[in-house]
A and B are shown apart, each in its own frame.
Chain A
């Protein structure tokens, strides 16, 4: 099996994807990802010179807008109803500035 990603790569990907992995999970994830990426090889074996991409099966859509008219939407209470933490009608998160802030 080719090493497409190293354990260091996996740690970097996890940080980017905001998923905390334990040291053991990094080991198994590295093996799993390398096996899966190996299985993707056929995609690299075609001569695709000049072949246009298809990003979506319904291809001819762009900037689909509805009429700019006010209509019903969630109340603040409903929008907050599934929030794990809330305060004064807002979503509550840990401090992101100053000491103890985000990296």
Chain B
């Protein structure tokens, strides 16, 4: 029954892959779960289900999702212009995309905070025009009071707010989308587009019906990677978020806080929840991709 592949070395490479994967990924994960096992079920629920932790899930998942979404749109545009057009400085832009990968996250966090704090370049503009906007709105009887971190005195507060968390997560996620989309866009056959146009499709129809479906799996992969990366981010966010309980505390900060109290089991319990959630998400996205491919 055993079929031999034309390529030699299957047994060897599979053995190496499995061993490597076990050492690098599976064993640490097993230890994580093992460490959580020391908790009783009630303690586990208490550790992962307290109001404060739930508030942090909402912020972390919400900001990570929005950031990945924004990156999917703008990452697509960036990848498209890098692949399709030849312009002066293209290689520089292409190299710049990788900066968030290469920079230590604390450095990105400090840089973004310097930029977005109320005395920074961007932050001061947000403060000035934010407060003008609120005053304008109040004069016209509109109620802006419900938007957090926006008021007439401080304007729009970018750093030390939920916006800050979103900004940091957007920054670190961009390369994932661009780098997964680039090869897909390069493989795209221009003749197919030309065919679509010659058959009378509008530009939008070509994009919607021809281009998007063929790069969609890569776009989803990029989105998922950016999302998953953002869920676990710590270094850059703690500088810009302000870390106020229930407002701007991300889940990884709570994990670190638990470690500081020598509560290893509690810390790993929250990690297990995060891990399960991201794994479930990856699974769902891969599964939808599989379904989409089968339908074709």
Is B truly associated with A?
no
